[in-house]
Structure 1
Amino acid sequence: MGIHIFQGHEPSLKSSYINVVIDVIRAFTVTHHAFIQGAAGILLAGSEEEAFRLKQKNPDFLLAGEAGGLPIAGFDLDNSPANVFNFDLKNKFLIQKTTNGVTATLNSLDAQYVFVTGFSNAKTTAEFIKNKLMDPNSDQLVNIIASHPEGDDDLACAEYIAGILQGQCSCSAEEAAERIKHSHAAQKFFDESNPQFNKEDMGFCMKELAEGFVMKVNYNDRIPMIERVNV
């Protein structure tokens, strides 16, 4: 089985067996906590305009996301896992638009299985793929997409997942968490001159949780939607 790591939200991918899209800071940490808070599903929008169109068709759905890392006017939720943690999202559907994670996912749909994750759900996702889907004797292709074009946060998580899939400790959980903390994308959260970025978010982004589910993208020529799949 071939395992390949790509970096950036516009990866050049061949049709594959599994694509795993990573956005640690913060999109798929947000989705993870949205499902923990009871969300029923999360639609992916490629632009603000598409997000608002989907909201118009589905008034009860909540808009969540960011542009340039900052909240979008008219959205119900921003891209902060700390803020999502305080919402009761039981049986709610979200519409998510983000710069890297959502864009990378929409560019990675040509696979039999597509999963999204941050670091918080990386181990559960990797173990699910390894134990339930992988055949080590096959030539099936697994792509791991670190959606931030330059950030070491997503790349560290990708290497951590690849190590679990390959049975090698090329990057431990502790090493990945340290790389996330010291990545360029994380620094604005520790900068007191940038109060618009919530320092509490980094605690969510760097903490592994064993919640017993993975986040799978359901796509059948419709609007792609992330769904919770119990393991």
Structure 2
Amino acid sequence: MGDFAAIIGNFYLECLIKEAVKLTKKGSKSDTISNIISAAGVVFAESGLADANIQDIADRAGVTKQLVYHYFKNKNQLFACVIDASSDDSMQTLISELQQSNISSMAPVPALYELIDKTIEVYYKHPLIASLAGDGIRYHGSHETPRNEFARLGPELTKMLGEIVRRGKASGEFRESINPDLLFATIGLIAGSTFTNRYVVSVLGNIDPTSDEGAALWRPFIVDLISAGVLKRN
């Protein structure tokens, strides 16, 4: 009986060891992929999608070029993963911060101001997605891509904005014709354009909207400008 118990015990121990090895390998694979995506983000931000090359990404990640191609079939697929990872981080942060600020309990006008400003702030707090914005727009415009985190989490933000707009209309502060979906698209478009069209803003507005001094002027100006189109006209 003792020998049988010992056999069962050893078998169970071997199973645990094998399972631990599997989990370690899974963790190692996940870490490697994350490392490659992080390195790729830096290279894409520095060189742009067109000029970035896999060897530079592999060198920065500390892996071989062959290993990069083992996980990603080409540079475009890797770029799509970088964009998705960046979108996930920024969108989750935005939703979390809006929830923490208890935006649902604010009066409609300050709630609108808060949502617009926090959306613009995403690009300032996540310089990687700001740097990749131009290439990302062009890439998604010319490729069939999987539904990424921006597209998945966007409706959650639109829902928040929709509730603010509903309350603003009910209080008589917002125009009845305001469409929350179009309003959110406008906010996202202007927020992203701060970085994708920084040159235009710098030349015509005589400020660099990405600098601390420029942001102090640009952000409240944009918040006021968008809000003015929402508020009911006297």
TM-score calculated relative to the size of structure 2: 0.25
Q: Answer 1 or 2: which has greater strand percent.
A: 1
Larger radius of gyration: 2
RCO higher in structure (CA 8 A, sep ≥6): 1
TM-score calculated relative to the size of structure 1: 0.25
